[in-house]
Structure 1
């Protein structure tokens, strides 16, 4: 068949992703507060885009549990919900566990170095109280296993479950509780270096399940996990 006449398909796709990421981050960091009403026109003016990518992003955010849509009435930023956050945590932990179990036998050359470097950046960011850098380094660390696991559905499921955990992660990484994750990461690297897929998978699962929160929000007390 001839090449379709549509233009800039990839650019539009990137725009949708950028708008989604901007709104997601604004919700996670509190720029858009829980309960705040989200109006397409205002968001479009803020981000300099039309209503179409705004609406597409809001649908994705609704599926991720970060916004609540009431058709014909309003769309608002979701309040913190411990039940949905726990569900997202359990699924995320299971997906990261699976990714590690599949990935360890397939890790490319240099993967252990990449993991160690990400953990060094993670520790440095925590010491500097740089929450954004800590979250980016933590993503890079766990992303090694997701990228190497060979199962694209893992990343797709994580795209749905991770956003609702970002609020909790952000507050955790600003507290002393996160320091325990550095040692957990070191243990994960050690097990992966031994090619212990099962041990690595269980250590990764425990790392994700160590994220604690209460009905009021994240539990930021020091953790010994």
Structure 2
């Protein structure tokens, strides 16, 4: 899911810090000082502390009271654990959504894949990640299952850095074709086929681990 449209100052701080971690501006293991972040973001320390607590729940930040706060290491097993859950939820969403796909859904998926392609052409991993979110969000919305959406929102942050790495490499080009095949499956209203293709699409992230 996309982390935009935030409301509170804490949500704003979490969104900006999360983006910095995903882009690698805050590297794995980097120490985080709330006072410095607050000054950089133009906020007080309170919303920054709220943001860091949220990011700790998401697995992007770790802390020890009166000792340290730092970006978590990008270790394979925690990311793999989260990835298999996210992968399964997106696959399930596709299976449920495909038989109900509308012409507007297909148009939205095609537009998202075009934006994804353009972002890859421009070597813009951030834009590619946003476009990929838009593509997969169509099925998540159409399936109408709030538990699927909540689970995806809960575990996606852990895999964000791996997604960014993937979309920074030429190998990401393969996803354009995979997206096209997913669109074809949805156009045929074939839930099983769509689910299988979505599962294959997300499995490519394992190559980054």
Same fold, TM-score > 0.5, yes or no: yes
Counterpart mapping for 1:194-213 below 5 A: 194-213=188-207
Cα drift, residue 149 of structure 1? 1.4
* Residue 177 of structure 2 is aligned to residue 183 of structure 1: yes
Q: Give the number of aligned pairs.
A: 205
Gapped runs of 5+ residues in structure 1? 1-10, 220-225
Contact 2:80/2:206 (8 A) holds in 1: no
What's 2:157 paired with? Answer: 163
Deviation at 1:51, TM superposition (A): 2.2
Which of 121, 132, 135 is equivalent to 1:127? 121
Root mean square deviation, CA, Å:
1.8
Per-residue CA deviations over 1:109-145 (Å, capped at 9, x if unaligned) read 4110110111111112112212121111111100111
Please, which of 63, 70, 80 is the counterpart of residue 86 of structure 1? Answer: 80
2:8 pairs, out of 5, 10, 14, with 14
SS of equivalent to 2:205: coil
Residue equivalent to 1:67: 61
Greater Rg, structure 1 or structure 2? 1
C-alpha distance in structure 1 between counterparts of 2:192 and 2:46, whole Å: 45
Q: Deviations over 1:136-195 (max 9, x none)?
A: 111110011111111112222222211121211112112111111111101100000000
- When normalised by structure 2's length, the TM-score is 0.91
Q: In the TM superposition, what whole-angstrom CA distance separates every residue of 1:69-108 from its partner, at most 9, and x where no partner exists?
A: 1123111111111001111110110110111122223334
Q: TM-score, normalised by structure 1?
A: 0.85
Looking at both structures, which has the greater relative contact order when contacts are Cα pairs under 8 Å and sequence separation is at least 6? 2
Q: How does 1:23-102 map to 2 (within 5 A)?
A: 23-102=17-96
Secondary structure of 1:110's counterpart equals helix
Question: Any idea what the Cα deviations from partners look like across 1:30-88, whole Å, max 9, x if unmatched?
Answer: 21122111122111111112222212211221122111111231111111110011111
Q: Which runs of 5+ in 2 are unaligned?
A: none
